[in-house]
Chain A
Amino acid sequence: MYVRPADLDETLRWLAGGARVLAGATDIFPAAGERPLSGDYIDVSNLDSLRGILLDAEAVRIGAAATWTDMVAADLPPAFDALKAAAREIGAVQIQNRGTIAGNICNASPAADGVPPLLILDTSVELASKRGARRLPLSQFITGNRRTSLAPDEILTAVVAPAPAPTLRSAFLKLGARRYLVISIVMVAAALDIVDGIVRDARIAVGCCSAVAQRIAKAERRLIGAPARAGLGGAIEAPDLAALSPIDDVRATAAYRRDAALTLVRRAIEFCVRGEAGGVV
């Protein structure tokens, strides 16, 4: 069954009845393999209340149906440059035109390119069900490889980032074995708030190196208070990334991922210092 709800309330009613949310469908169809979709789906891709990307004094609110193409086009502060750089590298244009930021989160792949840039924005997710609404930090929402705390009757309605300091710059670096349409081997997002040449705030997140992408607090702490100049990335050492737990797979070895993560973290910091947004390496 396919439902196109008129509003969120209707969506929640169908969810309570056991239907699943469908938006970009870029993960749902591949999971079905060669067989047609079966089951009940609620298509929220055209739900106006879930569509926009809104910026106000307090927060940036990314609606659940906002696509990666919407993200690239949105007028947002430099803290979102990393997320936009990731948006340009999610699959290819065809995927970016359909796939949503919310879907990338709910699919919960360890290789979700959107997650590290969202983590450095301290984002939360808004969840709704007939039982009520709740809000969770993104870092708590994704609980494992393909696992989230989304209840079966819940929908992720928005991704919300507190309005960042206008001085917070960000960068995203993606490492893959080819230029386009590639699942990352490692990716890193970093943001630095540089005021008067000094790093006031530092945020670093690494993806593909653990079941869930994670912030690297130890590395962040090393940077705060440091002068923001070329070579700053060198302050990060391998032990700072000890929290990572990469695995071997068809794309790379675990040892390589650990090694590359350090290089990418250092480079992402340099990109922030230079005010560049990054992209594929």
Chain B
Amino acid sequence: MLDRASGIALDLNGESRRIDVSPLERLSHALRESCGLRGVKVGCDAGDCGACTVLVDGEPVCACLTCVAQIEGRAVETIEGLSDSDPIVARLRAAFQFHGAAQCGVCTPGILLAAVALLRRNARPSEGEAQNALGGVLCRCTGYRAIVEAVCDAHSFQAPIGADLPQEHSVGQRLPRLDGALKLSGAEIFGADAWPADALLARAVRSPHAHAAFVLGDLDAFLGAHPGVVAIFTAADVPGLNRFGVIPAFADQPALAEGVARFRGEAVALAVGEDEAMRRLDVSTFPVSWEVRPALTTLDEALSPEAERVHPRRPGNILTSGRVARGDVAAGLAASDFVVEGAFETGFVEHAYIEPEAGFARRVGDRIEIQACTQAPYMDRDDVAKILGIAPTQVRIIPTAVGGGFGSKLDLSVQPFIGLAAWQLDRPVRMVYSRPESIMTTTKRHPARMRAKIGATRDGRLTAMDFSADFNTGAYASWGPTVANRVPVHASGPYRIPHYRAVARAVHTHLVPAGAFRGFGVPQASLAQEQLFDELAERLGLDRLEFRILNALAAGDATVTGQVFPDGMGFKACLEALRPRWRAALAAVASFNAAAAGSLRRGVGVAGMWYGCGNTSLSNPSTMRLGLKPDGRFALFQGAVDIGQGSNTVIPQMCADALGAPIALLDIVSPDTDVTPDCGKTSASRQTFVSGNAAVLAARAMRGAILRLANVGEEARIGFAPGAVIISGAGGERRIDLSRLPVDASGFILQAEETFDPPTTPLDENGQGEPYAVFGSGAHIAEVEVDIELGRVKVLRLTCAHDVGRAINPTLVEGQIEGGAAQGLGLALMEEFFPGKGENLHDYLIPTIGDMPPVECILIEDASSVGPFGAKGIGEQALIPTAPAIFNAIHHATGARIRRAPATPDRVRQAILAVRLEKDRGGQ
């Protein structure tokens, strides 16, 4: 028998160690909490994600499924034990940096360990061997292709790379991620990775019912019966306003429910205590009695005239609606030679970042500090202040590295809980969501029910489109208003449609709140519009790509909101760039299908998209600050949160070029609401565009300040040297010794702070106006193979053309495209969350490394005059066209139209059988 006293001896990263924990403890927990090896990431505690992969005697295992006693006498390797003195490791890391194979970095330790185990026995694995070896680790950011490439050609790298940063002209270069080394070493600090030693642990008590009134029981008795549990908090303990929400005018969500829970998983109380007591606490024994009430779980139920209101102030359960109208839709459709129409549906989609929400809070005098994963530090600050009833300046938010966000970490998760508990107890409190808790309670992509009718004239020109959609926004507002407003602007796609009407409503139900997810409703609308375009092209007898080219919006054309872009509308160029692959793919598919005797049929589909960068007709400024230090280096106060997309790299690239300085001269100061100015939220594909512009403006202002310091004109050139700036111009060269100059209170010789807010105008009652200063656009080709007997769809290849204005860092842009396409593929083929069923990563499926085909990225650079160096956003753009392109390809392969996403095997098979039945009937 083993017990805690004897300890467990093992070889840990090459050193003999003894771990004194319960022998039944999960190895992952022991490594993180007892050995301090926090590069071991925990994503699910169920073997579903592989983030906790470690090597035991050289073989990968999930540390979350291994008990400590089982590694007695074994050799355990974690990411911390992978040393660059091992050439296999060093080459692999170099290859990862080169290919951009780590984005957020939270899966990276597990991926690297699984890859090292492979490379030790097979230095030059094939793609299939690499996929088999890495099939057990999920990555939500990269789309896996960069990982496969890095593993397969790691042997060809000489480490290290990335040491040589360019002296000038950083923009446009494939710089390795500046924070890449941290991610590849496993040393990056994510939400769950740091906490004060005396922190208590918090766990929420959550409603098991979609809609229920509740009464709390004897909390003191519960506390008394659970030694180590220190405090229970309920709504009554919230000192400020127990209402939060990302859009202040719609804020409606309580931090802790007040007598009624409106969705399964809503928190009704918070228990806080010592680690072991909290871990062992069975929250199902918490004293609460439920009175289950009827729940509205579908749009039809919620929209029924008899339906109870989820919120009394919102009649008809309509949170809000959006509308865009232009021309005369009825007349336009009547004048059309061909009209197609259809209804389409999508389900809840889960963000499934590999890092569950986590962080800690501590009270410092009359202030509260919260260190947690977030996409929106300043919004967190303001909402936490309201909840605690204190001023925003009394709240400090320190974002950790974010292990994937994709929209859901814009909303509060752990922050109100740890903030409240730390504030009330005056002790640090930490909280880490379990995977089920993360899936059950955080926001989702809105399920959509859409109808559209689109007309064209015989010559192939679009005439009119009538679109309406209801979005299931769940129990609380979150970003529902944004979806309702953004969708009508985008539902046309980037096409010229003279007569247009689009309405969208966000509808409350008693389900998990739907919020922001990469695209804010546009991917759903695109499924309807782009599929109907294929039907129109078919009716017109036109090639599907040429039909889109014929109708593509160009600079100078009016959008459906009447906006005219003078430049930077490169959609047509994207479509034209796809022509060669399109024609080749059509020919290849035709010959494959002509020869096909078995059950496999191939198809090719195309879909376009556009996406406005930044908030819709609302101010969303970013502010950047630069400080010149006496040593001649610059501090860049970079408040834009890098959630894996790369703003920690591309913003310095732009800043360096605007400054005319080598990028290595910039010291990046990470986001912290006490230190960095507000760069807004990392969403709406706005950081490159908005914060990038602010960085450029700040850099220019700094140049101006330096020139003024030297008392020279704009034409002078600035050079940089240690402790000095060198001014050269007509009068020769002059060295300004910075060490002799006075510094300000912050220790800077000079500071420059600038703000950029995208120029937009409000939309009128018909949605007419200038909602965005810039749109990104693009199109994907999907080539698929369908097993018509089983309905199983494999995507064979994706070709993705995007107009990014200017690719500040092509490797990172391609990373966004591949990662977005992977999420689009998931949306198309496998992802749907059913509240109450499958709150885990084995029932909720996201693509694995074996599901992503090769991706060819084509970057179009049609510069926008308002973009920094011409750049536009890419984050959300890349996801939007993938699913409709896949659905169009499925139709091409089988004749079956998929009207309900995702196209799971059963739905595809059913659609194929329906087509067959129809044909048989037609034949009789």
- Chain A residues engaging chain B, CB cutoff 8 angstroms: 1-4, 22, 24-26, 29-30, 33-38, 41, 43, 45-46, 69, 88, 91-95, 97-98, 175, 177-183, 185, 250-253, 255-256, 259-260, 263-264, 281
Contacts and interface: CB of A to CB of B under 8 A. Distances in A.
Contact of B135 (A33, A177, A179, A263): A179
- A interface SS class: loop
Interface of B: 1-3, 22-26, 29, 45-48, 50, 53, 56, 59-62, 64-67, 69-70, 114, 131-133, 135-138, 279-280, 282, 434, 436-437, 599, 787, 789-792, 829-830, 832, 834, 837-838, 842-843, 845, 847-851, 904-906, 909-910
A250 B838 contact: yes
A92 B67 contact: no
A259 B909 CA distance: 9
Nearest to B24: A37
A253 B906 contact: yes
Contacts of B70: 25, 43, 45-46
A260 B790 contact: yes
Contact of A181 (B22, B56, B136, B909): B136
A256 B843 contact: no
Given A2-B23, A30-B46, A41-B24, A95 B845 contact: no
B62 A98 contact: yes
* Chain B CB within 10 Å, residue with most, of A2, A45, A46: A2
Contacts of B62: 26, 94-95, 98
Given A34-B45, A175-B905, A181-B135, 4 more contacts: A2-B1, A91-B136, A253-B910, A260-B909
A119 to B, nearest CB: 22
B434 A34 contact: yes
B47 A252 contact: no
Contacts of B2: 2-4
A180 B848 contact: yes
A24 B65 contact: yes
Nearest to B63: A94
Given A36-B280, A252-B906, A29 B64 contact: yes
Contacts of A30: 45-48, 65
Nearest to B787: A281
A7 to B, nearest CB: 15
16 contacts: A25-B65, A30-B45, A34-B437, A35-B280, A69-B59, A91-B136, A92-B135, A93-B132, A175-B790, A178-B830, A178-B851, A179-B850, A181-B842, A256-B791, A259-B909, A281-B792
A218 B384 CA distance: 66
A1 B23 CA distance: 8
Nearest 9 pairs between A and B by C-beta? A92-B136, A179-B850, A180-B135, A256-B906, A2-B23, A30-B46, A34-B434, A180-B848, A252-B906
Contacts of B3: 1-2
Contacts of A2: 1-3, 22-24, 67, 69
Contacts of B26: 29, 36
A250 B834 contact: yes
A22 B22 CA distance: 15
B827 to A, nearest CB: 13
Contact of B61 (A94, A175, A181): A94
B23 to A, nearest CB: 4
Contacts of A36: 22, 24-26, 29, 279-280
A98 B53 CA distance: 12
B338 to A, nearest CB: 34
A109 to B, nearest CB: 11
A38 B282 CA distance: 12
Contacts of B789: 263
A177 B1 contact: no
A36 B22 CA distance: 10
Contacts of A175: 790, 792, 905
A256 B911 CA distance: 11
A22 B23 CA distance: 12
B61 A177 contact: no
A93 B48 CA distance: 12
* Chain A CB within 10 Å, residue with most, of B59, B65, B599, B910: B65
A264 B910 CA distance: 17
Contact of B790 (A1, A46, A69, A263): A263
A92 B114 CA distance: 11
Nearest to B793: A177
B112 to A, nearest CB: 14
B789 to A, nearest CB: 5
A70 B214 CA distance: 52
A178 B845 contact: yes
A43 B137 CA distance: 26
Given A180-B136, A263-B789, A281-B787, A98 B45 contact: no
B280 to A, nearest CB: 6
Contact of A1 (B1, B60, B848): B1
Contacts of B131: 179-180
A182 B845 contact: yes
A2 B21 CA distance: 12
Contacts of B67: 2, 22, 25, 29, 37, 41, 43
Contact of B904 (A35, A94, A177, A180): A177
A281 B790 contact: yes
Contacts of A25: 65-67, 70
A94 B60 contact: yes
Contacts of B850: 178-180
A144 to B, nearest CB: 21
* Chain B CB within 10 Å, residue with most, of A94, A98, A255: A94
